[in-house]
Structure 1
Amino acid sequence: MSVTMRRSKRRKLKNEINVVPYIDVMLVLLIIFMVTAPLMNLGTDVTLPDSNARSLSTPRDPVIVSVYPDGALALMVEQQNQSVTREDLLVRLRAIHAQNPEATILVRGDGSASYQLIMDAISAINEAGVTKVSLLSRPLESGG
């Protein structure tokens, strides 16, 4: 009887799982994913047009420049929309900027106008000295 008592005292079985190795593996995997995630290149290559546009704050007393699909431009000041050329637009925007350096210009691009035409209009606005430029959009209509 003394032999069986010695064995039971020396080797008592535990029904617990040692989780320390699992925590170590988890931390190593976490570090690997944290290091490799920023290196993943998701998306496709896109050639974006050049522009000098800068971001701006909330507009006050905006002037609206419309860009049409054929590349035509229009300037709306005080609820009057007038068709203008690029040179005309530069002259008028320089005059507006001279009177009010805080004036905000909103660009209203037609949905079927190319991205390059809209960016050309923004570049022209920046060339006139205006740094506060924003894009106008329409909210989506609910389908149901």
Structure 2
Amino acid sequence: MALQLDEGEAELSEINVTPFIDVILVLLIVFMVAAPLSTVDVPVNLPGSTAPAGDRPEEPLWLTVTADRRLVLDDAPVPADRLSAILDERSNGQRETPVFLRADRSVDYGALMQVLDQLRAAGYLKVALVGLEAAP
């Protein structure tokens, strides 16, 4: 027994978008869960500051001095003797690139000055010290 269609009836051919919407919603949930996990940061106990925050450059270099006086550039550990070469590599030799320097609260002033001296000797003079915003 065969099904016969009348001449007036035509087959409906539409795209079913329900599976597409389901996939998009699942991807949205995956990205919403994964986005906060992708911002891995170096654990450092920053001191507070009551100064107003300045304008932030587009792509600064983040140099961190940890509590045990290790240097970390962005998220990668850096040997102190190779700091200049690695900074040049990351900034493509552009020494006008701003360097945001953050140090743990327990790092003494002398150790911080040594890092600043290394940055100055390497030619990086645009250095900003980073701290937490504290209540006035």
Normalised by the shorter chain, which TM-score bucket?
0.5 to 0.7
Give TM-score, length-normalised by structure 2.
0.53
How many residue pairs get aligned? The number is: 82
Which of 99, 107, 110 is equivalent to 2:101?
107
2:61·2:100 contact (CA, 8 Å) conserved in 1?
A: yes
Which of 60, 65, 71 is equivalent to 2:69?
71
1:71·1:117 contact (CA, 8 Å) conserved in 2?
A: yes
1:119 matched to which residue of 2?
A: 113
1:97·1:129 contact (CA, 8 Å) conserved in 2?
A: no
- Percent of aligned positions with the same letter in both sequences? 23
Give TM-score, length-normalised by structure 1.
0.50
Amino acid across the alignment from 2:115: A
Q: CA deviation at 1:108?
A: 0.6
Which of 75, 89, 103 is equivalent to 2:83?
89
1:128 matched to which residue of 2?
A: 122
Q: CA deviation at 1:132?
A: 0.5
Name the CA shift for 1:121/1:71 in 2 (closer, same or farther; >3 Å): same
Amino acid across the alignment from 2:60: P
Q: Superposition RMSD on alpha carbons, in Å?
A: 2.1
Name which one, 1 or 2, has greater alpha-carbon Rg: 1
CA–CA separation in structure 1 for the residues paired with 2:76 and 2:67: 16
Amino acid across the alignment from 1:65: L
Q: CA deviation at 1:95?
A: 2.9
CA–CA separation in structure 2 for the residues paired with 1:99 and 1:132: 14
Give every structure 1 segment of 4 or more consecutive aligned residues whose post-TM-superposition deviation is greater than 6 Å: none
Name the CA shift for 1:99/1:59 in 2 (closer, same or farther; >3 Å): farther
Q: Which runs of 5+ in 1 are unaligned?
A: 1-56
Which of 134, 137, 140 is equivalent to 2:131?
137
CA–CA separation in structure 1 for the residues paired with 2:84 and 2:95: 15
Q: CA deviation at 1:88?
A: 2.2
Amino acid across the alignment from 2:65: V
Give secondary structure in 1 for the equivalent of 2:64.
Answer: strand
1:3 matched to which residue of 2?
A: none
2:12 matched to which residue of 1?
A: none
CA–CA separation in structure 2 for the residues paired with 1:71 and 1:83: 11
